[in-house]
Chains A and B, each alone.
Chain A
Amino acid sequence: MISPVAFRGRAAPLIGSPQAAAVERGTRRFSSHRAEAVAEYPDFDAMRRQAREIRLHTLSHLGHYLGEFAANCEAAGGRMHWAGDAEEAVSIICGLVGSRRLAVKAKSMVTEEIELNHGLEAAGVEVVETDLGEFIAQLAGERPSHIIAPVLHKTAVEIGLLFADKLGSPNTSDSSELNQIARRHLRRIFLEADVGISGVNLGVASTGSIVTVTNEGNGRLVTTLPRVHIAVMGMERLVPGIAELGVVLEVLARSATGQRLSAYTNLVTGPRQPGEADGPDELHIVVVDNGRSQLLGGPLEEILACIRCGACLNVCPVFKQVGGHAYGSVYSGPVGAVFAPAVFGLDEHGDLPFASTLCGACKEVCPIGIDIPRMLLELRRRSAELGIHPRWLEFGLDTFSRAASLPSLWSAGGSSLTGFLRMRAIDGWVESLPGPAGDWTMARALGAPPKKRFQARWRRRGKG
């Protein structure tokens, strides 16, 4: 069982680092672009309400829509595969890749989640990430730090040095030169690759289509050039039909980057059809559960409605200070603080629901209006039941609650505590406190409380 302060150990060293400063700049920029896009739209809230209704409806009938999606995908010549957990998903995909040796990949959270690259590499397959940010993260041997901007934490100078070291390119920190270096390098790999592996932003039940939303075009290359395309899809990613897809796409890019639409909104329905010039000869869709289905019908179901735009990360005061690495999970920020413990368990991620001030900014910007604070509280309750809090805290709050239900004890306790604070105060300020309370004074001073509490003043006034 993890302590709720485990997050502290990962986050504290990142605070104030150059990486954190880059995250702060990046998230601020995303947020202001989002705000502009939302302000320009005639009635964004009306679209959000529709998008929410669509996603919640889909989740409450997920079995039905998965069945419909599978039938339509197969009718278009695609093949469906069903994975109960990460291990099964990796083994299915390794089986599909078979003896092919080079795979190109488009950015996908679910493949990160199931640690697919690790599994494929162990099977002797070379896997190349092709999203520029993911490619950089892979070269650096790091995990992505943001849902839609994987190397938000890295500077151009660092990336230039990394390219020079790993690709033998001339050292530069010019982002467009770095981009060209990556383009040339990856083009060669794209043309050679035998398998393309992508995630799925959304699946359309009524047509069996899968939708990927990208800006770079790598998502299209991965799903078009290699002979075999394997799409890995979290089981919750569906919309009922094309009209519903239109609504959800209307809020997705605007919330993510402030774009009206991303550069490429790509719908794939089956493999290359008879008579078509190009496209893959085989399309496989691997549907992954890996802990998701246990949320259906329960108080945490709503987190599955997430469309992975990352807007909640960009407004989260906690995320903005440190970026995604502090979360110790593929899914970070407010959505990750619910998704990771809910789906993968409190044992491993029980600290994340506490990594929030409950300010509610996440819920305010979510294009689906997901009530993240409510679910953080639900997970805190479950964690507390498992005895996750440090003993001093639980003991402290228990004592506090007993005193608070007994006014005489409350008076006595409050008097002696405030008296103690006054005693330690110098010129009206308490600068240090012993024990766990020292964590308060470590971060800020505490104004010394006045001698008479409000209720005493009030009673005195009544007499006077």
Chain B
Amino acid sequence: MAVVQLFATCLVDWLAPQVGDATVMVLEKAGCTVAVPAGQTCCGQPAYNAGLEPQARRMAAHTLDVLDGTQGPVVVPSGSCADMLIHHLPELMAGDEKYEPMALRVAARVRELTAFLVDDLGVHDLEAASPGKAVFHPSCHGLRNLGLRQQPLTLLDGVEGLELVSQEGREECCGFGGLFSLELPEMSEAILNAKLDSIEDCHPDQLIGVDVSCLLHMAGGLHRRGSAIQVRHIAEVLGG
């Protein structure tokens, strides 16, 4: 089986390393050989979304230096970072003699994890088990910019014992928004609360998502509510 390059993302690397482990496990279950390109850091999205272009370009250039020399698909366990690599890096590097071609080459190889499993490998069932009731949160960038609507649901459908229920307004934003969560915290919290209300109304055992960023934000909110709902990245569910 061909080698896949795992771009773990900075949040997974530092704040949720168990998601990185689980992603490796899932990819291996699907028959891939996983490589983790050394020196990977951050794709540049925080600066890009803040409008700080020179800083974003600096990070993007580093990421391209790390990834362009590798072979095979670049798998990212985050819709948002995958969107950044696929759509925004080529934009950011437009007109740059060295980095524009690199950005285009890398963009063509980048896949979000669930899209890679379902669309590229045709995997539907990873023989995972996770008993209990769960709700799924599709993070916005993956959902709307990469069209990840069915893929995660298909994979969760194959998980033994998992009862997936749909919360009201499932496709609505959780209020994270990167920089937004720091610059407009009250607003971010209000959106989060609306989201958590609809999740708690379903009385699930777990909340499953595809982006660690939104999940950290929602887990922090659930913790404040004293909720027992477990928050898990889809890789953790599929790896189990």
Check A-B contact in the complex, CB < 8 A: yes
User: Which residues from chain A sit less than 8 Å from chain B, CB to CB?
Assistant: 4-5, 7-8, 11-12, 15-16, 24, 315, 317-318, 320-322, 353-361, 363-364, 377, 379-385, 389-390, 393-394, 397-398, 400-405, 407, 410, 414, 417-418, 429, 436-437, 439-440, 442-447, 449-450, 452-455, 457-458
Question: Which one, B14-22, B93-101, B124-132, is touching chain A?
Answer: B14-22
Which one, B17, B38, B177, contacts A359 given CB within 8 A? B177
Q: Which 10 A-B pairs give the minimum distances between C-beta atoms?
A: A357-B177, A380-B51, A444-B220, A454-B20, A384-B51, A359-B173, A443-B189, A454-B17, A401-B55, A360-B144
Q: Classify the secondary structure of B's interface with A.
A: helix
Chain A residues contacting B181 (CB-CB under 8 Å) are 440, 443
One of B40-48, B104-112, B115-123 at the interface: B40-48
Of residues 23 through 60 on chain B, the ones whose CB sits less than 8 Å from some CB of chain A are 24, 36, 38-42, 44, 46-53, 55-56, 58-59
Closest to A374 in B: B91
16 A-B residue contacts at CB 8 Å?
Answer: A24-B194, A321-B187, A359-B173, A379-B51, A393-B183, A398-B52, A401-B47, A418-B14, A429-B220, A429-B223, A439-B183, A443-B221, A446-B216, A449-B15, A450-B18, A453-B14
Q: Is B186 an interface residue (CB 8 A)?
A: yes
Task: Find out whether the CB atom of B50 lies under 8 angstroms from the CB atom of A356.
Answer: no
CB of B79 to closest CB in A, whole Å? 11
Which of B52, B176, B183 is A5 in contact with, Cβ under 8 Å? Answer: B183
Q: Which of A315, A384, A401 has its CB near the most chain B CB atoms (within 10 A)?
A: A401
Task: Give the bracket for the number of chain B residues in contact with chain A.
Answer: 35 or more
How far is the CB of B151 from the nearest CB of chain A, in Å? Answer: 18
Q: Is the CB of B183 within 8 A of A398?
A: no
A384-B50, A393-B179, A457-B21 known; 16 other A-B pairs, CB under 8 Å? A4-B183, A8-B186, A8-B187, A11-B186, A317-B175, A355-B184, A381-B51, A401-B47, A410-B41, A442-B189, A444-B223, A444-B224, A452-B17, A454-B19, A455-B20, A458-B24
Q: How far is the CB of A208 from chain B (nearest CB, A)?
A: 40
Which of B5-13, B68-76, B159-167, B202-210 lies at the interface with chain A? Answer: B5-13
Q: How far is the CB of B154 from chain A (nearest CB, A)?
A: 21
**Residues in chain B near residue A436, CB distance under 8 A:** 182
Closest to B177 in A: A357
Closest A residue to B176 using CB positions = A357
> Which single residue of chain B is at the shortest CB-CB distance from A381?
B51
Do A445 and B185 touch across chains, with their CB atoms under 8 A apart?
no
* A329, B176: Cα distance in complex, Å: 25
Chain B residue numbers with a CB within 8 Å of A353 are 51
The distance from the CB of A445 to the nearest CB of chain B, in whole angstroms, is: 4
In whole angstroms, what is the CA distance A457 to B188 when docked?
33
Asked if B219 contacts A439 (CB within 8 A), the reply is: no
Separation of A71 and B42 alpha carbons in the complex (Å): 57
How far apart sit A412 and B2, CA to CA, in the bound complex (Å)?
33
B20 neighbours in A (Cβ, 8 Å): 454-455, 457-458
Q: Are A405 and B173 CB-contacts (below 8 A) given A384-B51, A449-B15?
A: no
How far apart are B166's CB and chain A's nearest CB, in angstroms?
15
Q: Does B217 contact A (CB under 8 A)?
A: yes
CB-contact partner of A400 in B24, B46, B180, under 8 A = B46
Q: Quick check: A318 and B191 within 8 Å, CB to CB?
A: yes
B183 touches A357 (CB 8 A): no
**Contacting residue for A447 out of B38, B144, B172, B216, CB 8 A:** B216
Minimum CB–CB distance for B214 against chain A, Å: 10
B145 within 8 A of A: yes
Among candidates B49, B61, B144, B191, residue contacting A317 with C-beta atoms closer than 8 Å: B191
Whether A405 contacts B62 by the Cβ 8 Å rule is yes
